[in-house]
Chains A and B, each alone.
Chain A
Amino acid sequence: MSNHQLLAIMPILTLSLTACVLMIQASIKRDQDIALKISALGLILSVWAVYIASDYTQSATILLMVDNWSLFFTVLILLASLITLWLSSDSFASEGERKEEFYLLLVLSVLGAVVLIQSSHMVALLLGMELMGVALYAMIAFPERGLLPLEAAIKYLVPSACASAILLFGFALIYAATGELSYAGIGDKISLGLQQNPIVLVVGAAMVMAGLGFKLSVVPFHMWTPDVYEGAPTAITGYLATVSKGAVFIALTRLYMDGQLYQYESLTNALVVIAIASMLIGNWLALRQQNIKRLLAYSSIAHFGYLLVVLIAYAGALSASAINPLIGQSITFYLAAYIVTSLTAFAVVVNVAGEDQSKSELSAFEGLFWTRRIQACALTVAMLSLAGIPLTAGFIAKFYIINVSIESQLWLLLGTLVVGSAIAIYYYLRVVFAMTKVSLQTTTDGVRSGLCAEDIVALILLLSVLLLGTWPQPFINIAGNL
């Protein structure tokens, strides 16, 4: 391994080092504050490491692909993790318990996510996904009181284990058909028509997609989502919804594009079915939810349905033998917008409801406009952005997806997207409406004035959602250069 390759994987090295330092620190002096500072420092240093690595983009060994695209998402995920760190530190600090293991788990999980994003080989994919997942089970179950987190962790653990098993079986079948495990190798074999048995390959690829679909919680692999979202500590739910799902989607995109799986029409058709089902069922089931975390769970199902449209468009565009530059940009912009918007929503839920599960019911948000205006504005903007209303990041993201599907003439998917978005407005607006209610309990107590730390987080996220929506050009330039 050359020096340049080492420099290219600097972010991964920095994160690993942070994890080691945290372990050593725990053996010397157990202190939550120090652990928090070390992990924050580690994450910030990793962002800096990405800056260094960006000069040495290359495929570092056969396992990892370090290019601008993966580095961009690495930064995004590191920033999202920093926000998660900030949000979870608040809720733990108030309990006065010793939680320093939590930070170790978080750093390990981020490390897994980064490996997943940069993976160019099935081994790296599995390694990253398991590292991210195992740390996540523990983080979900972390709160000591109550059965809900435990239930959530079990509900996440068991399907995930099944998904991993299916994924591995899929790898085996693909290996049997092509004799390759790296994405590029598979792609070469497929494009040259050298695969041994196309049926085995398609079945294997379908199993891999099913395994990844579990993590993305697209229909029909979505059953675990609402319970896990509800039961997990809210900051971790936010992490699960943004970092974990985002990283898995990037890995899926890589595998799908570099592995040239789009050449199999049956796989694309399966994706079409999954996308349509996710858009419709996700939005439909969200309609009657009373708990905002469950509502966001179903909404995330729909949003990943929208994202799958881009992958399908990629397959369609390629058969017309013209790769559309919009497709890469759409994934970049949509994921970035989704991550920022979701984090905003979860940040508000953390700030308003704390870790008290009963308070994430919609009724707990009644009158928020009159008691904590900044939080209410942030949640309103987040909801409007998820619904795709102009001036927010979500609108530009939806604009991209509609554009891409028009380009590839995916009228059925486009129609479903429009219907799904129309349904979705109802439940997003319900949240806004609840906040405008004048309820008697909230008018007197809990009115806060002045800025507190919680408001600053919400404000930063709120402004970034609006900035992406009102002045997207700089960001489009970045996305265009990846």
Chain B
Amino acid sequence: MVMINLVLILLVGGLVAQFSERFGSNIPRRVALAVIFVDLLYLLAHLWTIEGLNQAQITVVDDPATWLMYFQTPWIPAFGINIELALDGISLLMVILTLVLGMVAVSSSWTDVNHRQGFFEANLLWTLAGVLGVFMALDMFLFFLFWEVMLIPMYLMIAIWGHENRSYASMKFFIFTQASGLLMLVSILVLAKLSQDASGVWTFSYFDLLGTEMTPQVAHWLMLGFFIAFVVKLPGFPFHTWLPDAHTQAPTAGSVILAGILLKTGAYGLIRFAVPLFPEASINFSGFAIALGVAGIIYGAVLAFAQTDFKRLIAYSSVSHMGFVLLGVYALNEFALQGAVMQMVAHGFSTAALFMIAGSLQERLHTRDMREMGGLWQQMPRMGAVAMFFVVASLGLPGLGNFVAEFLVLLGLFQIAPWTTALAALGLITGAIYSLILIQRSFQGEPKEKWSGMQTADFAGREMLTMAVMMLALVFLGIYPQPVLDTAQPALQSLIEMAQSAEILP
């Protein structure tokens, strides 16, 4: 019930935020912030009551009793569809990340959105509700439902409050994810059909579908259906082209949610569904997936370097960083998987912060073009320092979360493919290049005449507070990553065992 309530609080909160607009245009964002905060508190309050959170109990993938939380109630019995939600270490991390970044997003929309605030905050909360559903749903039908439905409020956010080219960007975003989602739907249905043929009953439950018997060829095609849907969302090369447009055109809060949270649903899907449901097919496919990951890392970095648009550069850097996640998942050993999960969390914070800075710059300068910027450190020393922090975090400075993540991925990958690892490690160098170019073109260099009058434009208290939260999070992840690793460990352990047994079988 707790998990249902988590989603419901956000859904109802969205309605409240929408109607609270009649009491003043600055009420909805306060309501939204409060709703997310309450949601987070509600989750944390219940976490204390769960046994086994600190006992490093192994979550057995196909036994719901070993998960942290489990809930099931019938929904459409004719097809064996249930409302089935469960939470393990990975989902828990993702849910917390979602709620924290949700608050960051609300904060970044504080002054950015200046019309129809009620509907904006409602869409924001509904997107978060959909994402929470994705991270918790374990009925494949329900999962697909959340997967698709979370797109609609996101689409509206880009389409209504986006920048100059929003029509094209929002459409592209929706069509890419929806079309790939249809492939996943077909895969889900074929999988359910296979299981129905074997057992005689319809079921869409993850736990029942695990280990469904099928020929390697069928498994390969079904796995591809899932893989494409998740890699489009990740986004992995060559399905990434929607991302720069959507990120650039979205309002700041939209970019924060897109980069910080929505991309992680793709990575989560790979870890939760694509690999465990089709372990053998995934292992056979892992070489290709790793190649895609490396291609994404390098291609994303090269393109990021070529950008003049502040937001577009960060968007392409996301493509590069998410390549590491793909590597981590398909290297399929403990270090790499831990690195992938770590990257999901750390990248969420660092990119969200960078997008927020981009949004603040656009709000003040009315441009995202870095050729127009330069020397802004003088007018905005605080913003400059903050930007510097997140840029070095994003390029993987030791001591911050992103370094731990990328290091772990490379360490894990090295055990199985040393040369590929060498290639992927190029990403760290190229990352440094485009990150430093970003800071150099915007905040350092010769000050531009036209910005000299902007003395009051620096970050104020609210923004600094938001940034401080994310800085602390990254420093914490970098210096003491153990709690995150421990939380994810039980779930990953079981996944690795599953992969190993699949490797032995053929």
Which residues of B46-85 are within 8 A (CB) of A? 75-78
Contacting residues of chain B (186-207) with chain A, CB-CB under 8 angstroms: 186, 189-190, 193
- Asked whether, in the complex, the Cβ of B149 is within 8 Å of the Cβ of A433, the reply is no
Report whether A476 and B175 are in contact in the complex, using a CB–CB cutoff of 8 Å: no
Closest-by-CB residue of A relative to B183 is A418
A472-B193 CB under 8 A given contacts A389-B148, A433-B171: no
Interface residues of A in 409-438 (CB under 8 A from B): 414, 418, 421-422, 425-426, 429-430, 432-433, 436, 438
Write out the residue numbers on chain A whose beta carbons fall within 8 Å of the beta carbon of B267. none
Segment among B154-162, B247-255, B279-287 that sits at the interface with chain A: B154-162
Partner of A391, one of B149, B159, B167, B182: B149
A421 in contact with B148 given A429-B174, A433-B167 (CB within 8 Å):
no
Decide yes or no whether A72 CB sits under 8 A from chain B.
no
Q: Contact between A390 and B186 (Cβ–Cβ < 8 Å)?
A: no
A192 to B77, CA, bound (A): 40
> Known interface pairs A403-B193, A429-B171, A473-B77. Does A414 touch B178 (Cβ–Cβ under 8 Å)?
no
Q: Which of A387, A418, A436, A480 contacts B156 (CB 8 A)?
A: A436
Are the C-beta atoms of B148 and A402 separated by less than 8 Å?
A: no
Q: Is A370 in contact with chain B by the CB < 8 A criterion?
A: yes
Contact with A along B311-330 (1 / 0, CB 8 A): 00000000000000000000
Cβ of A335 < 8 Å from any Cβ of B? no
Q: Which residue of A lies closest to B78 (CB)?
A: A476
Q: Are B186 and A406 in contact (CB under 8 A)?
A: yes
Chain B residues, Cβ within 8 Å of A407: 193
Instruction: List residues of chain B with CB within 8 A of the CB of A472.
Output: 76
Alpha-carbon distance between A433 and B155 when the two chains are bound, in angstroms: 9
Q: Report A-chain residues with C-beta under 8 Å of the C-beta of B78.
A: 473, 476-477, 480
Chain B residues whose CB sits within 8 angstroms of the CB of A331 once the complex forms: none
- A473-B193 in contact given A384-B152, A389-B152, A425-B175 (Cβ < 8 Å): no
Query: B144 within 8 Å of A by Cβ?
Result: yes
Checking A384, A406, A476, A480 against B190 with a beta-carbon cut-off of 8 angstroms, the contacting residue is A406
Is the pair A422, B178 in contact by a Cβ cutoff of 8 Å? Answer: yes
Q: Is the pair B76, A473 in contact by a Cβ cutoff of 8 Å?
A: yes
In the complex, whether B170 has a CB less than 8 A from a CB of chain A is: yes
Mark out the residues of chain B between 428 and 451 whose CB falls within 8 Å of any chain A CB in the assembled complex. none
| B185 proximal to A (CB < 8 A) | yes
A389 contacts across to B, CB distance below 8 A: 148-149, 152, 178
CB atoms of A425 and B76 under 8 A apart: no
On chain B, the residues within 8 Å of A476 by CB distance are: 76, 78
Name the residue of chain A whose CB is nearest to the CB of B196.
Answer: A407
Residues A433 and B76 in contact in the complex (CB < 8 Å), given A390-B144, A406-B189: no
Contact of B182 among A370, A384, A422, A426 (CB under 8 A): A422
Q: Is the pair B178, A391 in contact by a Cβ cutoff of 8 Å?
A: no
Interface residues of B in 124-181 (CB under 8 A from A): 144-145, 148-149, 152, 155-156, 159-160, 167, 170-171, 174-175, 178-179
Assembled-state Cα–Cα distance A387/B148 (Å): 12
Measured CB to CB, the nearest residue on chain B to A402 is: B189
CB-CB contacts below 8 Å: A343-373 with B: 369-370
| Least CB separation from B145: chain A residue | A390
Compute how far the CA of A438 lies from the CA of B120 in the bound complex, rounded to whole angstroms. 14
Expressed in whole angstroms, the minimum distance between the Cβ of A417 and any Cβ of chain B is 9
The verdict on B116 contacting chain A, using a C-beta distance below 8 Å, is yes
Question: Whole-angstrom distance from the CB of B357 to the nearest CB of chain A?
Answer: 28
Given the contacts A421-B182, A429-B155, A390 and B189 also touching, CB distance less than 8 Å: no
Residues of chain A with a CB closer than 8 A to B159's CB: 432-433, 436
A406 cross-chain contacts in B, Cβ below 8 A: 186, 189-190, 193
Give the complex CA separation of A271 and B267 in angstroms.
41
Q: How far is the CA of A272 from the CA of B181 in the complex (A)?
A: 25
CA of A192 to CA of B160 in the docked complex: distance in angstroms? 63
User: In the complex, which residues of chain B have a beta carbon less than 8 angstroms from the beta carbon of A391?
Assistant: 145, 149
Shortest CB–CB separation between residue A110 and chain B, in angstroms? 31
Q: CA separation between A426 and B174, bound complex, in Å?
A: 9
Contacts of B170 in A (CB 8 A): 429, 433
A402 near B185 (CB under 8 angstroms)?
yes
**A429 contacts which chain B residues (CB < 8 A)?**
155, 170-171, 174-175
| Residues in B neighbouring A430, C-beta threshold 8 A | 171
> Which chain A residues lie closer than 8 Å to B179 at the CB level?
418, 421-422, 425
A425 touches B144 (CB 8 A): no
B145 contacts which chain A residues (CB < 8 A)?
Answer: 390-391
Chain A, residue nearest B155 (CB) = A429
In the bound complex, CA of A402 to CA of B193 (Å) = 11
B75 contact set on A, CB distance < 8 A: 473
Whether the Cβ atoms of A403 and B175 lie closer than 8 Å is no
For residue A390, which residues in chain B have a CB less than 8 angstroms away from its CB? 144-145, 148-149
The answer for the CA separation of A391 and B142 in the assembled complex, in Å, is: 10
Q: Which residues does chain B contribute within 8 Å of A422, judged by CB atoms?
A: 175, 178-179, 182
Taking CB atoms, residues of chain A closer than 8 Å to B149 are 389-391
Q: How far is the CB of B123 from chain A (nearest CB, A)?
A: 11
CA distance A436 to B167 in the complex (A): 10
Question: Please, what's the 1-or-0 string for B97-128, where 1 marks a CB less than 8 Å from any CB in chain A?
Answer: 00000000000000000011000000000000
Scan residues 364-403 of chain B and give those whose CB is less than 8 A from a CB of chain A: none
Among A365-402, those with CB < 8 Å from B are 369-370, 384, 387, 389-391, 399, 402
CB closest residue in chain B, given A430: B171
- Smallest CB separation, B193 vs chain A (Å): 5
Partner of B189, one of A387, A403, A426: A403
**Least Cβ distance of A336 to chain B in Å?**
15
Contact with B along A305-317 (1 / 0, CB 8 A): 0000000000000
User: Nearest CB to that of B202 among chain A residues?
Assistant: A403
A369 to B120 CA separation, bound complex (whole angstroms): 13
Would you give the shortest CB distance from B208 to chain A, in whole angstroms?
17
Contacts of B186 in A (CB 8 A): 402, 406, 414, 418
Q: A residues within 8 A CB of B189?
A: 399, 402-403, 406
The residue in A387, A429, A430 that gathers the most chain B C-beta atoms within 10 A of its C-beta is A429
Instruction: Kindly report which residue of chain A lies nearest to residue B148, judged by CB atoms.
Output: A390
- List the A side residues contacting B148 at CB < 8 Å: 389-390
CB-CB nearest in chain B for A391: B149
CB-CB under 8 A from B156, the residues of chain A are 436
A468 CB, nearest partner CB in chain B, Å: 12
User: Which residue of the partner chain A has the closest CB to B74?
Assistant: A473
Report Cα–Cα, A476/B76, bound state, in Å.
Answer: 9
Q: Which residues of B contact A421 (CB under 8 A)?
A: 179, 182
Q: Which residue from A370, A387, A473, A477 sits with its C-beta under 8 Å from B116?
A: A370
CB interface residues, A 460-482, toward B, < 8 Å: 472-473, 476-477, 480
Q: Mark B1-31, 1 if CB is under 8 A from A, else 0.
A: 0000000000000000000000000000000
Chain B residues within an 8 Å CB radius of A402: 185-186, 189
B144 proximity list for chain A (CB < 8 A): 390
Q: List 16 A-B contacts (CB under 8 A).
A: A390-B145, A390-B149, A402-B185, A403-B193, A418-B182, A418-B183, A422-B178, A425-B179, A429-B155, A429-B171, A433-B159, A436-B159, A473-B75, A473-B78, A476-B78, A480-B78
Q: Which residues of A are interface residues toward B (Cβ below 8 A)?
A: 369-370, 384, 387, 389-391, 399, 402-403, 406-407, 414, 418, 421-422, 425-426, 429-430, 432-433, 436, 438, 472-473, 476-477, 480
Ranked nearest first, the 4 interchain pairs of A and B with the lowest CB-CB distance are A422-B179, A390-B145, A476-B78, A436-B160
Which residues of B come within 8 Å of A, CB atoms? 75-78, 115-116, 144-145, 148-149, 152, 155-156, 159-160, 167, 170-171, 174-175, 178-179, 182-183, 185-186, 189-190, 193
5 further contact pairs, Cβ within 8 A, besides A390-B145, A436-B159 = A387-B178, A406-B193, A425-B174, A429-B171, A473-B76
